[in-house]
């Protein structure tokens, strides 16, 4: 008889939906928890029951242990699955579940505590014979001590929050000249994200591979590994692309690393799903970084190559069952790749985005993990990842090509995403050849973010057609042939366009005083699907109107935001920051004011720090002068473009 029949998922979004899918298939009932910002979220809709646990900020809801325990009791849930993020690696939460008579679907509080402290974990792994990166894990956190230890270790040095995860509280210090500034930044971010500013220092391994080993262990003393995942493509220490197997890992190296990971799990009496993360250098030497005592975001790639359901294994182990397979039973077939679709704008410094998803059409050719639908909210309070797209193939290149095609066909309109960047990264020769390291995105940023002039030119023509037809729909063959002057912003670039109807859906489109181009609208359906012809080539697009003057359209695998400025007064040209107004660059919460009213400031001086989607963003003075006014306080939630400060002449 099962130890539980109803599972509460202490998380949100795609991972909550993912856990529910397997739990239902195994016959369990499911309970969702949600913040007031997620009242209409997809994970709430899909659960058998749902309980509101607080206000939007994570500290008021998804990090509120007492509220989650109370929700479990109120709903009759006997077990709690933490997902990943939030409280997934919080030993106090695991203990609170056990104290409340609930089954915690994860390792013991002791194991979480042992591996959650990065300093203590390194000491444990060193004792177990696991190779570790040289560094400092001491309790003395004075800046003078940490500086001295960094000098001893040798530059470059990695600063890492001991309670951290997801790249938060991590900084790479190339030299002593910037160490103090980066240390303070890492500690501040760690304190706000985890409530603990403690850090460790490690020698930075230059341009390594990031390789992790998936392990499972039960309470009966059995432990296995399920091979490796290569997570080398990262931005700010956050994974962007993951794959299995790694193109850099041979069968012999896999066996060695797997044996190391299993030995480490057994050394701490581990139970459940866990991942040991290693850095691998060009010579094949690897070092332990940390252990994640939970399910990983990238677990679907392991499921794709092994044919196993990792959530099912978690549930069975938590119910007291022994592992259903031994190491020799593990088989890996083909290759799998995953990308993380994030609500962020790569062209604006990867600024987090929030808002409403106007259209969502995942590609049927991919496994897409998500909790989205048309009209779904993307709140500013949580992680920027909104979906994971996974492809499997017989070979690495087959999986890569399938992922590129499926990613191109995926429609996500209403908020800016990293969709185009992901396609370019997958298509880049360095990645295609299997040679990407953790330095890949930084080294090739110019190529990955470069404008595609041909596509943008055609997108402008398409935008002009959309505005020309407007609410009228399909143009009449009797329509007038007088030129129509349009002005619009496509993403952030403003265009002046003259459209001259030529009858039967044909137009001459002149962009920014260039000679006109003949464009023909072939079809435009009521659901926004359209075809147009230019230069003898017809193409498809999908458009959706979100307001009277704003639309989005999907074209060639990319989302474009279209704002009609035809009837908006043309603003006077001003130097950047000439009005002295500092505006919020995204929806977020003020977590620090770095100046006071009346202070003299230099151009570019940090003034206000906002937190959005679990990352900190410093906003700087647009020009030199004095702080005439601060319009926010610490804790204020602000919308994008909201004026947070005014700078006047000194």
pLDDT at 480 over 70: no
pLDDT of residue 476 exceeding 70: no
- Where does residue 196 rank: exposed (0-12), middle (13-18), buried (19+ CB within 10 A)? middle
**Residue 317 host element (H or E):** helix 310-318
Q: If DSSP codes are grouped into helix, strand and coil, which group holds residue 196?
A: coil
Give residue 142's pLDDT band: very low, low, confident or very high (50, 70, 90).
very high
Listing from the earlier edge strand, what are the strands of the sheet with 637-638? 615-620, 606-612, 588-593, 637-638
Residue 564 has pLDDT above 50, yes or no: yes
Parallel, antiparallel or unpaired: strands 411-413 and 359-361: antiparallel
Give ∠ CA 110-116-122 in degrees, rounded to 5: 100
How many Å apart are CA 422 and CA 340, to the nearest integer?
8
- In this prediction, residue 478 carries a pLDDT of 46
Catalytic residue among 168, 171, 294, 367: 294
Give residue 251's pLDDT: 96
- pLDDT at 552 exceeding the cut of 60: yes
- The mean-pLDDT minimum among 115-119, 408-412, 522-526 falls in 115-119
- Per-residue pLDDT at 472: 52
Report cis status (omega within 30 of 0) of the bond before 501: no
What is the DSSP annotation of 118-185?
HHHHHHHHHHTT--B--EE--S---HHHHHHHHHHH-SSEEEEEEEEETTEEEEEE-STTTHHHHHHH
- Residues 418-446: pLDDT tens digits? 999 999 999 999 999 999 999 999 999 99
Please report where in the chains the tokens 């994640």 appear, as a residue: 292
Strand partners, 518: 508
Determine what percent of the chain is predicted with pLDDT higher than 70. Answer: 96
Structure confidence at residue 371 (pLDDT) = 98
Confidence class for position 1, pLDDT limits 50, 70, 90: very low
Percent of the chain with pLDDT over 90: 74
Question: Average pLDDT of 478-503?
Answer: 86
Computed over every residue of the chain, the mean pLDDT equals 92
Q: What is the pLDDT of residues 180-218, one digit of tens each?
A: 999 999 999 888 888 889 999 999 988 899 999 999 999
**Higher-pLDDT residue of 570, 101:** 101
CA 195 from centre of chain: 21
| For range 161-181, the mean pLDDT | 87
Residue range 20-42: mean pLDDT, rounded: 98
pLDDT band at 380 (very low <50, low <70, confident <90, very high): very high
Q: Please tell me the predicted confidence (pLDDT) of residue 473.
A: 56
| Lookup: tokens for 528 | 């926004």
Cα gap 266→450, rounded to integer Å: 48
Q: Mind listing the pLDDT tens digit for each residue in 309-347?
A: 999 999 999 999 999 999 999 999 999 999 999 999 999
Q: What is the mean pLDDT of residues 295-322?
A: 98
Interatomic CA distance for residues 256 and 276, integer angstroms? 13
Other beta carbons less than 10 A from residue 120's beta carbon: 15
Distances (CA, A) of 354 to 386, 415, 416, 445: 10, 7, 8, 24
Average pLDDT over residues 383-399: 97
Task: Look up 123 and say whether it is catalytic.
Answer: no
Interval 569-593: pLDDT, tens: 766 544 445 678 898 887 888 888 9
Average pLDDT over every residue of 51-61: 96
Q: How far is CA 378 from the centre of its chain?
A: 12
Closest alpha carbon to 37 in 298, 379, 335, 286: 379
Kindly tell me if the per-residue pLDDT of 471 is higher than 80.
Answer: no
Per-residue pLDDT at 122: 86
């Amino acid at each position: 008889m099962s130890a539980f029949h109803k599972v509460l998922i202490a998380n949100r979004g795609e991972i909550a939906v993912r856990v529910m899918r397997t739990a239902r298939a195994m016959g369990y009932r499911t309970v969702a928890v949600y913040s007031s910002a997620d009242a209409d979220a997809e994970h709430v809709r899909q659960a058998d029951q749902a309980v509101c646990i607080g206000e939007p900020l994570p500290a008021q809801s998804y990090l509120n242990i007492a509220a989650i325990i109370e929700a479990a009791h109120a709903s009759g849930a006997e077990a709690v699955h933490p997902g990943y993020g939030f409280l997934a690696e919080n030993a106090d939460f695991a203990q609170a579940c056990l104290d409340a008579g609930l089954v915690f679907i994860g390792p013991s509080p002791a194991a979480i505590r042992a591996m959650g402290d990065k300093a203590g974990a390194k000491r444990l792994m060193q004792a177990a014979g696991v190779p570790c990166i040289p560094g400092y894990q001491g309790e003395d956190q004075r800046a003078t001590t940490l500086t001295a230890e960094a000098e001893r270790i040798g530059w470059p040095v990695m600063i890492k929050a001991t309670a951290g995860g997801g790249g938060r509280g991590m900084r790479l210090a190339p030299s002593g000249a910037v160490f103090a500034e980066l240390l303070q930044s890492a500690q501040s971010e760690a304190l706000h994200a985890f409530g603990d500013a403690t850090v460790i220092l490690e020698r930075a391994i230059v341009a390594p591979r990031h390789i992790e080993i998936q392990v499972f262990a039960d309470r009966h003393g059995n432990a296995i590994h399920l091979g490796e995942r290569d997570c080398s493509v990262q931005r700010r220490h956050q994974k962007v692309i993951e794959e299995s197997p790694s193109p850099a890992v041979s069968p012999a190296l896999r066996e060695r690393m797997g044996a190391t990971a299993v030995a480490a799990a057994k050394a701490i009496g581990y139970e459940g799903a866990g991942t040991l993360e290693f850095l691998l250098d060009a010579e094949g030497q690897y070092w332990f970084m940390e252990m994640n005592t939970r399910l990983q975001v990238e677990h679907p790639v392991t499921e794709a190559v092994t044919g196993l359901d990792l959530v099912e294994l978690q549930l069975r182990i938590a119910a007291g069952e022994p592992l259903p397979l031994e190491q020799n039973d593990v088989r890996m077939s083909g290759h799998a790749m995953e990308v993380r679709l994030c609500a962020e704008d790569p062209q604006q410094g990867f600024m987090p985005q929030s808002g409403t998803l106007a259209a969502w059409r995942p590609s049927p050719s991919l496994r897409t993990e998500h909790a989205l639908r048309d009209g779904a909210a993307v709140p500013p309070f949580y992680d920027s990842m909104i979906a994971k797209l996974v492809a499997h193939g017989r070979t690495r290149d087959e999986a890569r090509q399938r992922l590129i095609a499926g990613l191109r066909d995926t429609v996500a309109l209403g908020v800016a995403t990293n969709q185009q960047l992901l396609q370019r990264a997958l298509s880049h020769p360095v990645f295609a050849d299997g040679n990407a390291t953790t330095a890949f995105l930084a080294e090739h940023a110019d190529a990955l973010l470069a404008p595609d002039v041909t596509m943008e030119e055609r997108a402008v023509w398409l935008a002009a057609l959309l505005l020309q037809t407007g609410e009228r729909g399909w143009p009449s063959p009797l329509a007038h042939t007088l030129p129509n002057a349009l002005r619009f912003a496509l993403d952030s670039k403003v265009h002046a366009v003259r459209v001259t109807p030529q009858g039967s859906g044909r137009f001459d489109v002149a962009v920014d005083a260039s000679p006109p181009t003949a464009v023909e609208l072939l079809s435009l359906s009521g659901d926004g699907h359209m075809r147009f012809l230019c230069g003898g080539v017809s193409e498809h697009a999908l458009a959706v109107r979100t307001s009277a003057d704003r639309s989005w359209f999907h074209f060639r695998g990319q989302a474009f935001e279209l704002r009609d400025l035809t009837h908006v007064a043309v603003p006077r040209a001003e130097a950047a920051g000439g009005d002295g107004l500092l505006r919020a660059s995204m929806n977020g919460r003020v977590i620090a004011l770095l100046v006071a009213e009346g202070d003299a400031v230099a151009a570019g001086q940090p003034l206000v720090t906002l937190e959005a989607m679990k990352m900190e963003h410093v906003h700087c003075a647009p020009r030199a002068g004095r702080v005439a006014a601060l319009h926010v306080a610490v804790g204020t939630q602000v919308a994008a473009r909201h004026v947070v400060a005014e700078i006047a002449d000194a």
